Amino acid sequence: MANEEMEQLVRTEYKQGFVTDIESDTLAPGLDEGVVRYISAKKKEPQWLLDWRLEAFALWKKMHDPQAWANIEYPKIDYQAISYYSAPGAKDKDAPKSLDEVDPKLLETFEKLGIPLHERAALAGVRGVAVDAVFDSVSVGTTFKKELAEAGVIFSSISEAVQEHPELVRKYLGTVVSQTDNYYAALNSAVFTDGSFVFVPKGVTCPMELSTYFRINAANTGQFERTLIICEEGAQVSYLEGCTAPMRDENQLHAAVVELVALDDAYIKYSTVQNWYPGDEEGLGGIYNFVTKRGDCRGDRSKITWTQVETGSAITWKYPSCILRGKDSVGEFYSVAVTNNYQQADTGTKMIHIGEGSRSTIISKGISAGKSNQSYRGLVKILPSAKNARNFTQCDSLLLGDKCGAHTFPYQEIGNSTAQVEHEATTSKIGEDQLFYCMQRGISEEDSVNMIVNGFCKDVFQELPMEFAVEAEALLNVTLEGAVG
């Protein structure tokens, strides 16, 4: 493909890059104890939570930016230049009580992003999806709450959960990702503003897919959300998460924490389609996505599945992990990460096997294009207690173009002779014979590449819930458009 043609194609628009012009209540940039108190007061939080935040903040101040070990590069973040709270709506107005009161502009924004916030009757044969929409620092609304409540499922923003179910939040918050877990988790613990809370009681299978949609809108803000999902004995839930942000020249920080708790026989499926603004083709702007996600398979035979499609963000630093504590517990990680232009991604997973007979599967597919760099960093740790533990890891990288990089850093720490651990990884470009085969059947070069790339990712896409799988495939095509020539 000619160079100009290629360049034109690379300039594919980031469709979600618009800004919603809406009045907002934004805290001035800066970070000190006062900010932590302000956020807590704004959310009318109980004293214990404020104490917890302050404790985290004190610990964070003592920690260091973990720049050294990850295979990513970025200028030092000025934490004083970020605003830690921004909510749509005028300062003195109360938060909307129901979806009907929500500013139509907001609803329009989510509509534009393809996330309907009205409880439209589900299409025949398709189950509805309950959505919690988070706009900058606050949740603007949660749909299908009534239907879910009937089934016994609690699905709300975490701020609401703190008010309505403080005992549950207090019991589980910070038990999977502690305040001191890492630099960004500590920061998040101090200043988290919103996120989703899911509680599925014993024996209940959540009747519909739950999803949260994160949107950064305001400039100079960071988004610090915290999600907590708990599945009691025998409960099941499938949760999806999506995210976008406007195109801006400066970098914005997104430091989230996600904690999953699965008790005996519970199953949590957590899927992410991450499409934060990746920056322009010169590497200007974009979101820093520094996220801590961890699931705790506390119960016997519990299971946690992470599925992620990572196409956005200027920098991704993310390792959704599983602590396989329960006997015969299962952890799964399916990931497709795509980087283009100057994007950087250091992503992977950790599987910590503690329980007897625990099993884990890791399938990671990385695609690098343009001048991007991508690393898979994974840990499989098998403790002496994890008799007959089993792990299978496969991480494949596909390189599109000669200026990008793909790296693999798999750690295996095995302390049990009955463990069986397999790891395999390959790195290559699209085979010319594959391309030739498709093209000589009359398929254009671009379509052929898309087809091959989609095939490369199939193992992961088929793990995604139906609605997301379609979106993910489309997203992949857009992200890579023009990257091949």
At residue 64, the 3 state secondary structure works out as: coil
Q: Where are the beta strands (DSSP E) in 319-372?
A: 321-324, 330-339, 344-347, 350-353, 359-369
From the list 133-141, 267-275, 421-429, 474-482, the region that binds other proteins by CB under 8 A is: 421-429
From the list 153-161, 323-331, 352-360, 420-428, the region that binds other proteins by CB under 8 A is: 420-428
434 in contact with other proteins (CB under 8 A): no
Would you tell me how many other CB atoms lie within 10 Å of the CB of residue 22? 16
Among residues 177 and 369, whose Cβ is nearest to other proteins? Answer: 369
Among residues 171 and 403, whose Cβ is nearest to other proteins? Answer: 403
- Say how many CA atoms lie within 13 Å of 39 toward its Cβ: 31
Task: Give the whole-angstrom CA distance, residue 49 versus residue 173.
Answer: 10
At residue 75, what is the residue type? P
Instruction: Identify which of 271, 349, 345 has the alpha carbon closest to the alpha carbon of residue 311.
Output: 345
CB of 65 to other proteins, least distance (A): 16
CB of 483 to other proteins, least distance (A): 11
CB of 375 to other proteins, least distance (A): 8
b (16+ CB within 10 A) / e for 399-435: bbbeebbbebebeeebebeebebebebeeeebeeeeb
480 in contact with other proteins (CB under 8 A): no
3 in contact with other proteins (CB under 8 A): no
Among residues 18 and 392, whose Cβ is nearest to other proteins? Answer: 392
Site string for other proteins, 335-374 (x = CB under 8 A): ----------------------------------------
Task: Give the whole-angstrom CA distance, residue 296 versus residue 467.
Answer: 27
CB of 411 to other proteins, least distance (A): 5
Contact pick of 429, 439, 478, 485 for other proteins (by CB under 8 A):
429
Contact pick of 427, 434, 454, 477 for other proteins (by CB under 8 A):
427
CB of 327 to other proteins, least distance (A): 17
Contact pick of 249, 250, 424, 445 for other proteins (by CB under 8 A):
424
Task: Give the whole-angstrom CA distance, residue 328 versus residue 375.
Answer: 30
CB of 427 to other proteins, least distance (A): 4
At residue 11, what is the residue type? R
Among residues 71 and 205, whose Cβ is nearest to other proteins? Answer: 71
63 in contact with other proteins (CB under 8 A): no
From the list 20-28, 223-231, 342-350, 400-408, the region that binds other proteins by CB under 8 A is: 400-408
Token pair for residue 285?
């702007």
401 in contact with other proteins (CB under 8 A): yes
Contact pick of 175, 426, 444, 462 for other proteins (by CB under 8 A):
426
Among residues 180 and 412, whose Cβ is nearest to other proteins? Answer: 412
Task: Give the whole-angstrom CA distance, residue 169 versus residue 157.
Answer: 11
Among residues 178 and 388, whose Cβ is nearest to other proteins? Answer: 388
E strand or H helix that includes residue 42: helix 33-42
Beta bridge partners of 466: none
Instruction: Identify which of 430, 426, 458, 462 has the alpha carbon closest to the alpha carbon of residue 446.
Output: 430
211 in contact with other proteins (CB under 8 A): no
399 in contact with other proteins (CB under 8 A): yes
Percent of the chain as helix, strand, coil, to the nearest 5? 25, 35, 40
412 in contact with other proteins (CB under 8 A): yes
Contact pick of 407, 446, 478, 485 for other proteins (by CB under 8 A):
407
Task: Give the whole-angstrom CA distance, residue 74 versus residue 257.
Answer: 21
Among residues 285 and 378, whose Cβ is nearest to other proteins? Answer: 378
Among residues 9 and 22, whose Cβ is nearest to other proteins? Answer: 9
By rule CB under 8 A, what count of residues binds other proteins? 34
Q: Where are the beta strands (DSSP E) in 60-201?
A: 86-88, 129-135, 138-142, 154-157, 196-200
Residue 316: partners with Cβ closer than 8 Å, 6 or more residues away:
274, 289, 291, 310, 337, 343, 344, 345, 346, 347
6 in contact with other proteins (CB under 8 A): no
Determine if residue 132 is left, alpha or beta; phi over 0 gives left, psi from -120 to 50 gives alpha, anything else beta: beta
From the list 161-169, 285-293, 342-350, 416-424, the region that binds other proteins by CB under 8 A is: 416-424
Among residues 248 and 390, whose Cβ is nearest to other proteins? Answer: 390
Q: Which residues of this protein are in contact with other proteins, per CB under 8 A?
A: 69, 384, 397, 399-429
